[in-house]
């Protein structure tokens, strides 16, 4: 394999017809270039979509109430209903598979009238009453201060944790909001924290940066909401599917609130684990399709290499006959043809591989340096394993391209070869 004379002979053969060598190599070069760019672009799209799940607990489900559609136990259809505090305790006591349980209140959204006041500034924000567990499901980055804690819940403290855009709009630039008061629907709350969402894409119709969190119990008491619960988030313990937990939660809540077991429309629910798996399956399918198309394109180039090698074998029939007549073994002839084929495909393919990676890195660099936030494309590129796989594909492609010409070469009888013109 490391015979210097053999490699020099391969170089001379390929150099003897530069145009033919170039056109043959271009097919392989283009095939591997397209494969790398498609794989890298697919990774960029995948990274962007899965960035939407970043830090979010993917083993979570979200459940809320809707109007009933079936009569049940003397209650009419079309009934509006809500969860309550006792339902939350029942879920904890009866469903051991639950990891985190986070009830939530959302009495006002940020799409209506102004609901938050500070001094002469007023604005409309999403107001949520939450337990600390919700921050374990959808984590945030605290820019200053702290999150809601268990003591806030127990003592029903009138404290608020505000989003970074709430801070920017209600407070002067450089002003420290911690310890200051804001008025929410006529009730004063002390700001104890400012946060920035880690995940801005995963939301339920609200702008997370323009959100105010207050303790769940404080919201119930301050606004006379009784024991209502508008919404709950739940996660599953390790080795348990959240789909199982979701089903048990809805069954128990339906039983406790006299909702017909078959009334599927009485609940709104969203299973993030299911969505995550569907997305993962979709991108796995896209990745397989990319490899099929890329290898198909590469195969077209390999066929071209194989055809040219057949021509090369025909042109060198007399030379092969001389080699055979002076004692060259069939394996030596086969090895020579295979090495020429592998050298041609590997060299041209490596150029395509390097150029493809360079193009992806250049695109990524331009995106990062420009500061552009591309929601549908992020960090395109290929990792070492993909590059190694592409290299292995190239070697096998070269062996495949040279196999038929090599068989043709060793089938030539020395006497007939010496007679060839």
pLDDT score recorded for residue 130: 94
pLDDT score recorded for residue 7: 60
What phi and psi values does residue 163 have, to the nearest 5 degrees? -75, 160
| Contact between 28 and 345 (Cβ < 8 Å) | yes
Residue 271 located in a structural domain:
no
Residue 65 located in a structural domain:
no
- Is pLDDT larger for residue 193 or for residue 4? 193
Name the token pair of 160.
Answer: 């608020």
In this structure, the answer to whether residues 47 and 96 fall within a common structural domain is no
In this structure, the answer to whether residues 247 and 98 fall within a common structural domain is yes
Task: Over range 364-383, report the average pLDDT.
Answer: 69
pLDDT confidence bin for 274, thresholds 50/70/90 = confident
Distance separating alpha carbons of residues 243 and 100, to the nearest angstrom:
14
pLDDT score recorded for residue 318: 62
Domain-terminating residue out of 196, 225, 256:
256
In this structure, the answer to whether residues 252 and 159 fall within a common structural domain is yes
pTM: 0.69
Residue 110 located in a structural domain:
yes
Residue 239: CB atoms within 10 A of its CB come to: 6
In this structure, the answer to whether residues 131 and 176 fall within a common structural domain is yes
Residue 72 located in a structural domain:
no
pLDDT score recorded for residue 247: 93
Task: Over range 378-406, report the average pLDDT.
Answer: 73
In this structure, the answer to whether residues 376 and 285 fall within a common structural domain is yes
In this structure, the answer to whether residues 290 and 373 fall within a common structural domain is yes
In this structure, the answer to whether residues 294 and 245 fall within a common structural domain is no
Does 340 score more than 80 pLDDT? no
Which range is least confidently modeled, 199-203, 345-349, 380-384?
199-203
Distance separating alpha carbons of residues 26 and 319, to the nearest angstrom:
27
Q: Strand 126-130 vs strand 211-215: parallel, antiparallel, or unpaired?
A: parallel
Most confident of 6-10, 184-188, 324-328: 184-188
Residue 270 located in a structural domain:
no
Residue 59 located in a structural domain:
no
In this structure, the answer to whether residues 102 and 192 fall within a common structural domain is yes
Does 285 score more than 80 pLDDT? yes
Residue span of the structural domain in which 385 resides: 4-53+277-419
Q: State the total domains in the chain.
A: 2
Mean pLDDT of the chain: 81
In this structure, the answer to whether residues 369 and 228 fall within a common structural domain is no
In this structure, the answer to whether residues 93 and 232 fall within a common structural domain is yes
In this structure, the answer to whether residues 128 and 229 fall within a common structural domain is yes
pLDDT in tens, 209-256: 999 999 999 999 999 998 999 989 999 988 888 999 999 999 999 999
Element holding 326 (H helix, E strand):
none
Residue 48: CB atoms within 10 A of its CB come to: 17
In this structure, the answer to whether residues 329 and 385 fall within a common structural domain is yes
Buried b (16+ CB within 10 A) or exposed e, 157-168: bbbbbbbbbbbe
Residue 267 located in a structural domain:
no
Name the token pair of 154.
Answer: 């127990």
Beta bridge partners of 159: 190
pLDDT in tens, 86-142: 999 999 999 999 999 999 998 876 566 788 999 899 999 999 999 999 999 888 999
Residue 413 located in a structural domain:
yes
Q: At what angle do helices 272-315 and 330-370 cross, to 10 degrees?
A: 140
Distance separating alpha carbons of residues 324 and 334, to the nearest angstrom:
12
């Amino acid at each position: 394999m490391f015979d210097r004379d053999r490699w020099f002979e391969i170089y001379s053969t390929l150099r003897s017809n530069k145009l033919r060598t170039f056109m043959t190599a271009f097919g392989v070069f283009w095939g591997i270039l397209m494969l790398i760019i498609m794989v890298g672009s697919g990774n960029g799209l995948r990274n962007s979509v899965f960035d939407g799940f970043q830090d979010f607990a993917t083993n979570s489900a979200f459940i809320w109430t809707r109007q009933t559609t079936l009569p049940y136990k003397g209650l009419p259809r079309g009934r509006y209903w809500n969860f309550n505090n006792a339902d939350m305790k029942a879920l904890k006591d009866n469903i051991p598979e639950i990891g985190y349980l986070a009830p939530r209140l959302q009495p006002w959204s940020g799409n209506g009238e102004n609901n938050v006041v500070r001094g002469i500034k007023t604005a409309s924000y999403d107001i949520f009453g939450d337990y600390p567990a919700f921050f374990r499901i959808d984590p945030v980055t605290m820019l200053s201060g702290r999150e809601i804690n268990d003591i806030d819940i127990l003592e029903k403290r009138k404290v608020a944790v505000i989003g970074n855009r709430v801070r920017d709009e209600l407070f002067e630039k450089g002003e420290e909001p911690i310890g200051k008061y804001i008025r929410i629907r006529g009730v004063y709350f002390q700001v104890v924290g400012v946060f920035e969402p880690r995940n801005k894409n995963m939301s339920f119709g609200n702008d997370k940066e323009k959100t105010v969190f207050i303790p769940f119990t404080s919201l119930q008491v301050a606004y006379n909401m009784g024991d209502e619960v508008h919404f709950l988030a739940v996660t599953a313990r390790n080795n348990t599917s959240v789909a199982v937990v979701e089903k048990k939660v809805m069954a128990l809540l339906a039983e406790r609130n006299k909702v017909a077991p078959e009334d599927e429309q009485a609940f709104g629910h969203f299973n993030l684990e299911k969505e995550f798996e569907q997305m993962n399956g979709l991108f796995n399918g896209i990745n397989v399709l990319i490899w099929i198309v890329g290898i198909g394109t590469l195969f077209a180039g390999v066929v071209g290499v194989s055809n040219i090698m057949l021509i090369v074998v025909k042109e060198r029939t007399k030379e092969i006959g001389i080699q055979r007549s002076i004692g060259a073994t069939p394996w030596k002839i086969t090895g020579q043809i295979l090495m020429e084929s592998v050298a041609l495909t590997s060299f041209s393919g490596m150029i395509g591989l390097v150029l493809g990676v360079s193009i992806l890195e250049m695109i990524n660099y331009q995106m990062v340096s420009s500061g552009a936030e591309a929601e549908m494309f992020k960090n395109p590129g290929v990792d070492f394993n993909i590059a190694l796989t592409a290299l292995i594909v190239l070697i096998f492609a070269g062996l495949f391209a040279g196999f038929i010409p090599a068989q043709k070469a060793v089938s030539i009888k020395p006497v007939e070869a010496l007679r060839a013109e």
